[in-house]
Structure 1
Amino acid sequence: MKYGDIGLLLPSRGLVIGGVDPVPIDILNKLAQRADSVGFDSVWVGDSLIAKPRLEPLSLLGSIAAITNNVRIGTAVLLGALREPILLAQAAATVDLVSKGRLNLGIGVGGGFNKDQQGEWVAAGIDQKTRAKRFEEIVEIIKLLWSEETINFQGDHFNLEEVSLGFRPFQRPTIPIRLATHSGPGREKQYLRAAKIADGIISISDSPDEFRQVISNVETEAKNLNRNTEHFHNVYYMTVNINDNHDVALKESDDWIKKYYGLNFWTDKWGPFGSTSAIKDRIIQYFQSGADEVVVRFASYDQPGQLDQFEQKILPELL
């Protein structure tokens, strides 16, 4: 039974924390090609400048587009407020053309919850307190640049006069945007922002019930704005480790996540870590909670081995 789309998070950060120099990019390329050939619907890469160093996402997706044919490609998620809008619009439109319209732009405001995250804003020369408004202006600008021949824009952070990219993305009217949106107190602005500017959401670390509520909250805000959400594509991004020995799976996941984030970041909402049946059941729960797509990230140093098990034991049950 086809519950929805299945995506694979490629280890653009995982390869860096592996400590091999130069970064073994062939591993990532082979994972992308395997995903393309065995039935995955999409492949994704994450983003960070210096807080969680990794390969630059849009350059990487352009490379992946050239060696795949079927999978959609996406960012999960790109930190939009750290970018300059014209360069971002140009780069994303180029990737969309190279891939013949396969790009999903997962994008988020970005955080400043710890010293490393705060350091990214300092390094980029941006006041993190302005990131939400800056982000909204950037999304508005890139969508205009993708859909109009020439644009004018006046905002608090950007003022553009008679600006044109000179070309448009493959997808019309624009590249679809999935906005990072999560549950929790004080998230009302996220729901309204998604309803106003996105074509769907992408969420991480919410339970199935919380994810369902997030979707409902965004739909309510969209209805208040007279915006139709029938075309929205909602994505859940989950982190797993496949091993019949739960303790072994948990130990590797714990070590991997701590190195990935630089702190003990994860909670019991992440996972599951263990048997294929537990992971399959959890994926189905997210589909039943409203996900149109579930993206899987392997919390493991053996990415090919994890993909082998997922391909053989889980993927056939979801297609």
Structure 2
Amino acid sequence: MTGARIQLSTGVRSFSATDPGGWDHLFRQARLLDQAGFDRLSVSDHVVFGERLEAYARPELGGQAGGRQPTGPDGHWLEPLTTLSVLAGMTSRIRLATGILLAALRRPVVLAKSAATLDVLSRGRLDLGVGVGWQREEYQAAGLDFEDRGRRLDQTLEVCQTLWRDTQATYSSPDLHFENIHMMPKPFQTGGVPIWISGTLNPRVIKRLARFGTGWIPWGPDAADLPTAIARLRDALADEGRDPANLQIVGHIPTSTRPDGLLDVQRTMDAVPPLVAAGATDLRLNLRIPADDAEAAEHLHDIVQAFRAAADQTT
């Protein structure tokens, strides 16, 4: 995204393989990241699980080759918008993202209301990362057709943007129609909550990005070869009549660690300039936070400062 500051993001674990006995560790992490100057934190989503978790390793279903779910079917997963609402109340500046929300599992009008509410209460800090997911059982439990999930996601995004934009909203499709509907408050952010589209660059995802996307969350082989994928994306968006320069793009920073398991900051940041040069604008980092608050604050501060210096080399 031309002229924009390169941003530093990380995911926080809003899930646990077993009952963690409380979520204070999540609250602590969010506060420390906010205070240190990270730009964005993200949380993931599963509503329910079936018992065939090996399907996550099947790219043709939306999974990732060689991938493995971090919990079993009885893992504890917090609902992301509820979680971000709590985190919004204990932070002041960091952006709050879903990465990703299975948006098609929610009724569109209810999702529009929930997201707008959180955006208002956080004073415009919500980013809605969305995707279709990989698990058939999740759609079956919601009474939805797994094969129809792409169309349902598009419809959900259409309805959300219509309700966020129009004072008097009307929408019509073969299975959903409403007229003269009012939904207030509108999102705090002008134009509505930013939508980040996750997926590999197939024709459906490209059209979704061109129509709805503020940002792209690459998946699968595209995430593994980001420079090539970004070049393809720019050409495809131009063919769709969308200016690729105003699309944000997620890139994952490869990490190097010290013998104590903490991030080797300088070696890790050597990977930042090539990602920025390739076109990534939101750089995501997996990291471990020290148990001591003072040590954690210092370590995170060092990461942010080193990241800014590395990103500035190419901007």
Aligned to 1:28: 26
Aligned to 1:220: 235
Q: CA offset at residue 297 of structure 1?
A: 3.1
Secondary structure of 2:271's match? helix
Moved more, 307-316 or 33-42: 307-316
Moved more, 204-213 or 41-50: 204-213
TM-aligned CA distance change 1:37 to 1:313, over 3 Å: closer
1:9 maps to a residue whose letter is G
| Alpha-carbon distance in structure 1 between the residues aligned to 2:146 and 2:8 | 34
| Alpha-carbon distance in structure 1 between the residues aligned to 2:219 and 2:300 | 22
Kept in 1: contact 2:207–2:240 (CA 8 A): no
TM-score, scaled to structure 2 = 0.78
| Alpha-carbon distance in structure 1 between the residues aligned to 2:107 and 2:133 | 14
- Which among 296, 300, 319 is matched to residue 285 of structure 2? 296
Q: CA offset at residue 78 of structure 1?
A: 0.7
Q: CA offset at residue 275 of structure 1?
A: 4.5
Matched pairs, number: 278
Kept in 2: contact 1:3–1:318 (CA 8 A): no
Aligned to 2:313: none
Q: Give yes or no for the alignment of 1:102 onto 2:125.
A: yes
| Alpha-carbon distance in structure 2 between the residues aligned to 1:307 and 1:206 | 34
| Alpha-carbon distance in structure 1 between the residues aligned to 2:205 and 2:304 | 32
Superposition pairs of residues 85-124 of structure 1, within 5 angstroms: 85-111=108-134, 117-124=135-142
- Cα deviation digits, residues 222-248 of structure 1 (max 9, x gap): 3223223333221234675x6324xx9
Aligned to 1:281: 270
Secondary structure of 1:230's match? helix
Q: CA offset at residue 205 of structure 1?
A: 4.9
Superposition pairs of residues 208-247 of structure 1, within 5 angstroms: 210-237=225-252, 243-245=257-259
Kept in 1: contact 2:265–2:306 (CA 8 A): no
Q: CA offset at residue 151 of structure 1?
A: 1.8
Q: Where does the alignment leave 5 or more consecutive residues of structure 1 unmatched?
A: 112-116, 250-272
Moved more, 202-211 or 165-174: 202-211
| Alpha-carbon distance in structure 1 between the residues aligned to 2:23 and 2:150 | 34
Secondary structure of 2:197's match? strand
Secondary structure of 1:76's match? strand
Q: Where does the alignment leave 5 or more consecutive residues of structure 2 unmatched?
A: 50-70, 309-315
Aligned to 1:65: 88
| Alpha-carbon distance in structure 2 between the residues aligned to 1:217 and 1:181 | 14
- Which among 37, 40, 52 is matched to residue 35 of structure 2? 37
Q: Give yes or no for the alignment of 1:159 onto 2:161.
A: no
Kept in 1: contact 2:36–2:301 (CA 8 A): no
Kept in 2: contact 1:45–1:75 (CA 8 A): yes
Kept in 2: contact 1:181–1:194 (CA 8 A): no
Moved more, 218-227 or 122-131: 218-227
| Alpha-carbon distance in structure 1 between the residues aligned to 2:127 and 2:212 | 14
Aligned to 2:64: none
| Alpha-carbon distance in structure 2 between the residues aligned to 1:85 and 1:317 | 41
